[in-house]
Amino acid sequence: MRVDPFRLYQATVGSVQRLSPHMIRVTFTGLDGVRSNGPDQRIKIFLPNERTGSLDVPTGPEWYPEYQAMSLAERPPMRTYTLRAVRSGEIDIDFVAHGDTGPASRWVGKAAPGDVLKIFAPQVTGEHMGAEYRPADAAWQLIAGDETALPAIGAIVESLPAGTRALVFAEVPEDADRQDWVTAGDVDITWLPRNGTLPGHSSALVDAIRDTAFPEGAGYAWIAGESAVIRGLRRHLVTERGIDRKSIYFSGYWRLGRTEETAHEPVDED
């Protein structure tokens, strides 16, 4: 019998931990069966509708078009997040806390044990199920992104086996948003605090990588963050640094001036 790769779970907040001024970790319970296919595993979360409190989400094979057919005023907001950690019956999700700027940030700013939301996550393991980190036998790795990519970057760094050479670049709002990661890999981490510059308006990530000498051999790059910034960084890696396009995973986790509901217009991904 075929088992759907993903399913909808009801998740209950078990604990809330502020990791830094702009990052909050929420541990959710009641999640027996959730699986992760890699350190950058993507999931969908559904937040209570801010007007009605509703968490009614369609189920079944046509759930997504049915969800899209719901009016914005009525449907629970959906956002994409990374599974930061998976344990028996519970998971961690790290949220960027940026004030009263969106439903997820507003929700996590008030989150408390016992609160409930819904999560669309894998219930089986396998390839191409929302996890894209695949370095194969690269001689070295480049892992880079802004604070929205920090959960995936941290999980990737922690997963590196001994002897794996990696250059990591993390753009964060301020110096206090640095995180400590334990890894067996041979890792150089460059923290890039914006210190007042608005998200999506800094060139620090691209500039720092442009100024860095890469190790010898064929590299692999995993880069994620604001869409235009990441497209520019990918272009630099391909045209100026000679990294094979097939050895670069890139993702626009967000687009400046857009929400997840309005971020689907086509963009040139040269």
Helix (H, G, I), strand (E, B) or coil at 65: helix
CATH of domain 6-122: 2.40.30.10
CATH 3.40.50.720 fits domain 140-254: no
For the chain, how many residues are written? 270
DSSP annotation of 32 reads: T
DSSP state of 198: P
Reported pTM: 0.92
Tell me the domain boundaries of the chain.
6-122, 140-254
Please list the pLDDT of the chain residue by residue as tens digits (270 residues): 567 788 899 999 999 999 999 999 999 999 998 999 999 999 999 999 999 999 999 988 888 899 999 999 999 999 999 999 999 999 999 999 988 888 999 999 999 999 999 999 999 776 668 899 999 999 999 999 999 999 999 999 999 999 999 999 999 999 999 999 999 999 999 999 999 999 999 999 999 999 999 999 999 999 999 999 999 999 999 999 999 999 999 999 999 876 665 554 444 443
* Residue 231 phi, psi (nearest 5): -65, -40
Q: Identify the H or E element spanning 163.
A: none
Query: Beta-strand (E) ranges in 152-218?
Result: 165-172, 186-193
Kindly give, in sequence order, each residue whose CB lies less than 8 Å from that of residue 152, ignoring residues fewer than 6 positions away.
39, 40, 82, 133, 145, 222, 224
Please give the helix or strand (H or E) that residue 152 lies within, else none.
Answer: helix 150-159
Rounded to whole angstroms, the Cα distance separating 173 from 190 reads: 14
Between strands 23-29 and 6-20, the pairing is: antiparallel
Residues 26, 13: contact at Cβ < 8 Å? yes
Structure tokens at 211: 């100024």
Q: Is 266 exposed, middle or buried (0-12, 13-18, 19+ CB in 10 A)?
A: exposed
Question: Among positive and negative, which fits the CA dihedral 94, 88, 79, 74?
Answer: negative
